[in-house]
Structure 1
């Protein structure tokens, strides 16, 4: 039971921080009772009774309660407490507790917070070096104490940085293994679906088609038995096909329609799995050429109209994006363009806009693309499409955080997709995280 409680600590930061704060409170109280106060009396500028060190200890322990949930705030306030404690002469307990705040800030802080800490640490190092040079000739003991403080802070920060780097490296390795295992699983599933399911459905469809032919042959009045004699239940006087054969033919028609639809949907699912694997491979995609080639999906005499700066907007959004996201979005646009031509008539229109900002501040903002086509029954042709289908396209977009909505009425067919993009700042942050 106790071992299970310890294992759950990483998932409960409040409990973990409270445990650490309690530990430092006990250690600090013991150090205070043992007289480990005023360890740097040469830095003291305030004469105060020893119980003041209990006040600074209580203050720093209180900040330890939020060490992993608000690390930067806890460190900033902890630096103020440590500064006051140093002006009193410094106590060993507060110094040690403050090093834990430094460690937690570097380990748990966000990427932006850590960059701020690096700048502050650099400025503090320069100030410390200048202070040591200035006070060393006249007050060598003060210079030694300052150097000791600087080394303690540096070791704590490097300790936290090392743990943070190891955690990032482990997470990256686990993510790589997970992606590899997932890709292998998708490949195996696609292979099994193709060989074990799709082929069997296709064979079933062929048998149904053969049964339909046999039923049609038996339904003809002139159909006889293999030896030239009429079937036992043949009724030449009955006009048209026999009722039981007509019902059988209708059932076979429905069965064939079902197998054809199942085969089509299964092929679409296999295409989705295959495309995700291709996207994960990181193979580069030429967005400009792919966008220009969308017009080739339309029948002769019909055009793809880019409304406003839609083509340029999509190109800017895809610039610098991950290769997998680019390939998935381009494949989705191919399917939507083909479906617009299939379900509508006339020219296909495509609109695009970045919602809520520009491309420099677009991290996480959605790129919205709308594909539409008017409907005039009987005037549109049905191109072959890309084999994914609307549902398969929706699954693809959801795999990268996007979404898809499609609708059709008597006047038009339209589809709208949204895909969050990284944006310039988001791409820089992602690159920084990757290097770290």
Structure 2
């Protein structure tokens, strides 16, 4: 604001100096009269940013009055600033209209002056002068306004890009937190479930001999140590950077270790491997291991023996099947958080596979069965695999459950 007041004052002083120096057309009026339109245009300079159209209106009134009593060079020069401010700070549509108006006035004014003077040289001189006074400030302001609007658009675009980058960063953080939570749940739940069941059994039985108690405590200690070891392994994987050696990761080849751990926790479990075991993609290997681990954890917490585990290495997929008996009316010995099945489905989906989990008929003793069937593709192309309701491969013409496996979806 201070600079605007200073500019208006300087323009007024300069205009007065020009009037005093005779820079006006003498029409027999006192010199102080020429100062009035000059002062009006300078008032327009004061409001050029807050009210650009008012500034132009004051300039038009002043230059019209100055044309009758002068005109004077100072008033005309300050009027160019009124035009410039109206285009730069006024509405965009008005700025385009003003360009056409000033161009028309410049041409018409030069033509009228040449017609009155009956001299084409006067037409040329007046046309150039009118163009300099009217068109030049308008076009200059239009160019500057376009650059300013372009810079504002670029700033807005940069802010939007930064906002999108921040959203991507937050999404990546949320996804990483979800992955870590899933890893922690799948890794620790198995060990802690075994510890909880064994310790509960030891505390509830008063007739256990010292040898049995010692075996239970040894199993509890083993699960505790292995849980801590897997926790360290995962922390090492999270800390891994660059080309450092890969941290130890669980594999489907370690399924026997998981099954043996369940046996030691007191649940009868068996493992069968069909097909020729082979190297599979790391993501599929880890997903299969974690799904098997969570399925065994659920069987340990909620199921009854026996537990049957089958790992089938097919041509283009690995099939993991876990079945166990469940009591009809017996409440689960341990509460569940409800995230185990969700986590298993997410793991299967992330590698382009599918997972089915639910009750499957009844045994001869009237108890139900629970089955987890995970189909994890090891090739890039999609395919369809058909299985019996009990998990075996179906043959043509027999009742079957069809599982469609495609990369990136279920």
TM superposition score normalised by structure 2? 0.46
Identify which of structures 1 and 2 has the higher relative contact order when contacts are C-alpha pairs closer than 8 Å and 6+ apart: 1
The structure richer in strand per residue is 2
Larger radius of gyration: 2
TM superposition score normalised by structure 1? 0.43
